[in-house]
Amino acid sequence: MSPVAAEPNGAPPRRPRGRPGHDRDSVLRRAIDLFNQRGYDATSIGDLAQDLGVTKSAIYHHVDSKETLLSLALDEALDGLSAAVAGALEADDSAYERLRSTVEASVRILATHLPAVTLLLRVRGNGPVEQAALARRRLIDEQLATLVKDAVAEGSLRSDTDPELISRLVFGMVNSLVDWFHPGGAISADELATTVTSVLFDGLVVRR
């Protein structure tokens, strides 16, 4: 017999006790937004509580430290980017095509997880949580650099420039999207992904 008392079977889960309130994820979403607006250090739990219309203590009901919020956000971004890169890497294709789809997939992740990725890209390594995130990010960057190197070796990309530098420039352009892109604006995530990829690989200049 169920330990839960009589409930009409199949009924949607109700909120039996307590206030309507927030859950862990909605607290996290607001926290990420505030961290991005004012910076992590400049955002107090009190600010977050005020924004959500609850007390500070209510925040600590959902999450046990401010750093946990940061950690959850950075993991979201890193998990998304890792998956995107891993997916594009394992394709049975030329290095050029794998690089091209990695760029496109990265832009998509960046656009769909924009707040979390924005936070990740602003992390400077203060404290253990940020340092762990930077370490994971470095691993991804190394995979990207290797992919670029393969594309150069294959003869697809110009060989007069250090592959490491090319990689930094390419993903520098990709990452700069967080500074202005707004989902739901004039340009969609799909358009953005294909346009950025084309500008990088098909070029900017009209050739005669």
Which residues here bind a second copy, judged by CB under 8 A?
36-42, 96, 122, 124, 126, 155-159, 161-162, 165-166, 168-173, 175-177, 179-180, 187, 195-196, 198-207
Cα(135)–Cα(141) distance, integer angstroms: 10
Cα(67)–Cα(130) distance, integer angstroms: 9
Sequence-distant (6+) residues with CB within 8 A of 30 are: 48, 51, 52
Contacts to DNA from residues 48-67, by CB under 7 A: 53-58, 60-62, 64-67
φ/ψ (deg, to 5) at 12: -65, 150
φ/ψ (deg, to 5) at 194: -70, -35
State the Cα angle at 179 between 178 and 183, rounded to 5°.
55
> Smallest distance, Å, CB 31 to DNA?
11
> Smallest distance, Å, CB 205 to a second copy?
6
Per-residue contact track with DNA, 23 to 42, x per CB under 7 A? x-------------------
DSSP state of 179: G
**Which among a second copy, DNA, none contacts residue 64 (Cβ within 5 to 8 A by kind)?**
DNA
Q: Judged by CB, which is closer to a second copy: 74, or 196?
A: 196
Whether 159 and 152 have beta carbons less than 8 Å apart is answered as yes
**Which among DNA, a second copy, none contacts residue 57 (Cβ within 5 to 8 A by kind)?**
DNA
Structure token pair of residue 142: 């190394």
Structure token pair of residue 12: 């949607």
Tell me how many residues contact DNA (CB under 7 A). 26
The answer to the question of residue 17 lying near DNA (CB under 7 A) is yes
The answer to the question of residue 173 lying near DNA (CB under 7 A) is no
The answer to the question of residue 126 lying near DNA (CB under 7 A) is no
- Cα separation values, 9 from 15, 64, 111, Å: 15, 35, 40
> Which residue from 36, 43, 102, 118 is in contact with DNA, where contact means CB under 7 A?
43
Residues at the contact surface with DNA, assessed by CB under 7 A:
15, 17-23, 43-47, 53-58, 60-62, 64-67
